[in-house]
């Protein structure tokens, strides 16, 4: 069996991995694991990742979780163009500097909109209003730091060409946009960066990767989304309780 990627395109880190593999022509078997159907809690998936999280890469007997580790593995194994994960020590270090900051300041903040607008209502609850307000404040604060410290007036995070750090960031920022909060409005630097990202990924791949998340509100309105099974709902309630 060749390379297998376990993904759900509603998830930001899954989309980053999907886009990276597609853009670089890396051949893989897509193993779709749908959160909304509780498939990440199935016995079969537990054998792949006992943490029940996506994305997961399986390359023969080798299993790897964590999107940034997966992107680095793919970059090195398939010798993709250098700009994705630059060999220059200092530029590579900037990628890791960004990824460290991203894990602390972006990752758990920008995905909250999906919980507010879709996941909590789907299981008959809601994210408390004070958490909703706080989340908006945290997003705005992180975006200011992102622009001033990491992006500046460069076309991409670590220079003139797209890197895996840009992809990680893009997918987190697309999440609130698809859920009704356009983080690019009123932020010209960030909007210019988004334009560079769209141009470098291409329209077809952009649409393929983002279709499911951009359709989710419509599906919510039409009540066509699956309701997560009880075994997933326990995890989901725990997740909601952990929203800052």
Ligand X SMILES: N[C@@H](CCC(=O)N[C@@H](CS)C(=O)NCC(=O)O)C(=O)O
CB of 13 to ligand X, least distance (A): 4
What Å distances lie between residue 141 and 8, 35, 109, 131, 144, CA to CA?
29, 29, 11, 15, 5
State whether residue 6 is helix, strand or coil. Answer: strand
Decide whether 9 or 187 has the Cβ nearer to ligand X. Answer: 9
**Nearest alpha carbon to residue 9 among 21, 1, 24, 19:** 19
Decide whether 13 or 176 has the Cβ nearer to ligand X. Answer: 13
The residues binding ligand X (CB under 6 A) are 11-13, 35, 40, 52-55, 66-67, 235
CB of 186 to ligand X, least distance (A): 27
Decide whether 63 or 192 has the Cβ nearer to ligand X. Answer: 63
CB of 123 to ligand X, least distance (A): 13
Decide whether 51 or 191 has the Cβ nearer to ligand X. Answer: 51
Report the C-alpha gap between 15 and 24 in whole angstroms. Answer: 14
CB of 66 to ligand X, least distance (A): 5
Joined together, the tokens standing for residue 203 give 């329209």
CB of 236 to ligand X, least distance (A): 8
Decide whether 12 or 113 has the Cβ nearer to ligand X. Answer: 12
Decide whether 187 or 225 has the Cβ nearer to ligand X. Answer: 225
Taking a C-beta distance cutoff of 8 angstroms, is the pair 179, 113 a contact?
A: yes
State whether residue 169 is helix, strand or coil. Answer: helix
β-sheet bridge partners, residue 58: 4, 63
DSSP 40-83: GGSHHHHHH-TT--S-EEEETTEEEESHHHHHHHHHHHTT--GG
CB of 199 to ligand X, least distance (A): 25
């Amino acid at each position: 069996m060749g390379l297998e990627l376990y993904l759900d395109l509603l998830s930001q880190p899954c989309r980053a991995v999907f886009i990276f593999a597609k853009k670089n022509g890396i051949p893989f078997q897509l193993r779709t694991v749908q959160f909304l159907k509780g498939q990440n809690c199935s016995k079969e998936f537990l054998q792949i990742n006992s943490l029940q999280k996506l994305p997961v890469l399986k390359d023969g007997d080798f299993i790897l979780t964590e999107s940034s580790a997966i992107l680095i593995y793919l970059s090195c194994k398939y010798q993709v163009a250098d700009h994705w994960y630059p060999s220059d020590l200092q530029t590579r270090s900037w990628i890791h500097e960004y990824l460290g900051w991203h894990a602390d300041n972006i990752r758990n903040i920008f995905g909250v909109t999906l919980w507010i607008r879709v996941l909590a209502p789907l299981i008959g609850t809601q994210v408390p209003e004070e958490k909703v307000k706080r989340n908006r404040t945290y997003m705005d604060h992180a975006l200011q730091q992102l622009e001033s410290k990491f992006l500046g007036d460069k076309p991409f995070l670590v220079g003139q060409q797209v890197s895996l750090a840009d992809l990680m960031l893009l997918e987190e920022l697309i999440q609130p946009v698809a859920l009704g909060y356009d983080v690019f409005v009123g932020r010209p630097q960030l909007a210019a960066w988004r334009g560079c990202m769209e141009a470098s990924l291409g329209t077809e791949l952009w649409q393929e990767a983002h279709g499911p998340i951009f359709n989710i509100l419509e599906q919510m309105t039409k009540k066509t989304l699956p309701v997560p099974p009880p075994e997933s709902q326990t995890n989901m309630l725990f997740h909601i309780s952990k929203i800052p």
